[in-house]
Structure 1
Amino acid sequence: MSLKKDFLCCCSSMFPSTETARFYLLGVLIALYMLAGAAIFSSLERPAELHAHRLWEERLMDFSHEHNVSCEDLKSLLHHYEEARTAGIRTEQSRALWDIPGAFYFVGTVVSTIGFGVTAPSTMTGKVLLVFYGLLGCSATILFFNLFLERVITLLSLLILWCHSKRTRHGRLECRGSESDRNEEWKPSVYQVTLVLFVAVVVVAFGAASLYSTMEGWTYLESLYFCFVAFSTVGFGDFVSGQREHHEDTQVYQVANCLLMLLGVCCTYSLFNAISLIIKQGLNWMLRALAKIQPCAYTAGANSVQFGPQHSLALLCS
């Protein structure tokens, strides 16, 4: 018995804990996921990039010959224009970027971590201030998202529990006592909460896309694409809402745009956290499968500390 116990202790010390193994496994899977994504998007987008470069060079040469301007001077002018875009200069007339509504829109993209990139400080004082402003603002907004998620999870859990209790009560009235006990122990599945959050995100995104398609002149698919990029806080900047000149006169649209951004980011953030919990369950399944091959490979992380919205989701869902 002593020899077996020593062997198990020695074996368990050679392998990481479950929490550590899950961390390493997730890192490897993310790296593989990124490599696969890079290969796919490179095969899709690289030919279009090369074609755009060739077309641009042809247009530069044609313009240079037609107007008797050297390519070097033309490229120098374009370089100055690229610098001017940071200050808000556009070839097409657009709304003011740094009036109070424009600046409010900018700080909203900063604290929400969207960062479209269409607006950026051009002064050194503004750039330095942005570092400290973003540090506090992003931290406070992430806290707001976490608190929002906790309340959404609690509300969804209560609604799902109410529906479950009502369905159970109508189904088995004769077993009232035992069903009551079961309802007290029952918790909504994380898959049910994820499904409800997914439906909420889809409803918000489709409703917002209808508004953006009308106000921005985008196609509906472009509007849906913008909603995902914005609500997920990716913020590429290829599509940015509320930047046209006539939008200065549509204050209702500006307010609706900000509210949709806030609601969309909150719902999508909640959905991401729920999906991440499902991914965590998948990692646990993979580790259990590995443990069957090597029974003493992983030790249970009983003393690990959990915190944050995912822990609240795990407590509320079965």
Structure 2
Amino acid sequence: MFIENNTCISHKELAAFIDAISSETTFAQGTLQGTNVSTRWDFSGSFSFVVTVATTIGYGNLAPHTGIGKVVVIAYALIGIPLTFLMLQGIGGRLTQLSHRVNKLKLCSKKPALNKYLNMVLIIVIGVSLLFIVPTILFMKVEGWDLMDAIYYCFVTLSTIGFGDFIPALSENRFSRRADALTVYRIVTYVWILFGLAYVALIISYISNILVRKAEKVEQISRKKIEK
């Protein structure tokens, strides 16, 4: 279509066209293959961009190209990232309260130590099931990814690494021909990301506390040995 409408173009116009393609490689590839690719700045696309900026995931599939857009992103990030961290702390606090309630369960009342470990395993199983297993199955069904790719995407996203090699609702999937379903799918995905980030932060904090306690015990033992 471009060649038919532009049979004679200048070097400057050709360079601008190549720059436009290079900035939207996924869109260009999908166009050549005849598949649907969603990179539009509609509501769901803009919502996805806002979440990836505020959570510092930064897939890289959407980015501002104008000077004003770049200034707006900088201003938004300076305000949005701290507010997002505060929100994640609030969600993490709620999850902590929920974990404390689970810790009070008496699955094995005769052995308190065993009961504590059982409760911890229950918390991990519930969290992993809701934030990893269920999304993995969903992405396999909707996006057509295999098991390894879906698990890989969940981990890379919730750890805020965000390579951008796998992005939901970008290429053609089961909801591509239904705009309303695609919008809901995108929003649910990024709401999952917010809760998933809070849960992963909670797990990392829990592991860090265990390591700190172990280090303090080792320090106390070493200090006693040195004093003797």
Aligned ranges for residues 77-116 of structure 1 at < 5 Å? 80=19, 83-85=22-24, 89-93=27-31, 94-116=37-59
Aligned ranges for residues 259-270 of structure 1 at < 5 Å? 259-270=191-202
Q: Which residue of 2 aligns with 1:228?
A: 155
Q: Over alpha carbons, which structure has the higher Rg?
A: 1
Q: Which residue of 2 aligns with 1:152?
A: 95
Which residue, out of 199, 205, 213, partners 1:273? 205
How big is the shift at 1:229?
Answer: 0.8
Which residue, out of 239, 248, 256, partners 2:188? 256
Indicate the percent of aligned positions where both proteins have the same amino acid.
26
Contact 1:194 1:274 in 2 (8 A): no
Separation (CA, whole Å) in 1 of partners of 2:60 and 2:118: 36
How big is the shift at 1:207?
Answer: 0.5
Separation (CA, whole Å) in 2 of partners of 1:284 and 1:196: 27
Cα 1:131–1:148 shift into 2, 3 Å? same
Aligned-partner SS, 1:91: helix
How big is the shift at 1:292?
Answer: 4.0
Q: TM-score, normalised by structure 1?
A: 0.55
Separation (CA, whole Å) in 1 of partners of 2:204 and 2:28: 36
Contact 2:52 2:59 in 1 (8 A): yes
Paired residue total: 202
Q: Which residue of 1 aligns with 2:169?
A: 242
Separation (CA, whole Å) in 1 of partners of 2:87 and 2:50: 16
Separation (CA, whole Å) in 2 of partners of 1:262 and 1:287: 37
Separation (CA, whole Å) in 2 of partners of 1:231 and 1:206: 13
Q: Which residue of 2 aligns with 1:143?
A: 86
Residues 229-286 of structure 1, C-alpha deviation per residue, up to 9 Å, x if partnerless? 1112221111111112517623332233223222222221211111111121232233
Which residue, out of 266, 275, 286, partners 2:218? 286
Q: Whose RCO is larger (CA < 8 A, sep 6+)?
A: 1
Q: Which residue of 1 aligns with 2:127?
A: 201
How big is the shift at 1:221?
Answer: 1.1
Aligned-partner SS, 2:29: coil
Contact 2:91 2:195 in 1 (8 A): no
Unmatched 5+ stretches in structure 2? 1-14, 32-36
Contact 1:194 1:271 in 2 (8 A): no
For 1:119, the aligned partner's letter is L
Q: Which residue of 1 aligns with 2:3?
A: none
Contact 2:88 2:194 in 1 (8 A): no
Aligned ranges for residues 292-307 of structure 1 at < 5 Å? 292-295=224-227
Contact 1:247 1:253 in 2 (8 A): no
Q: CA RMSD in A?
A: 3.2
For 1:131, the aligned partner's letter is I
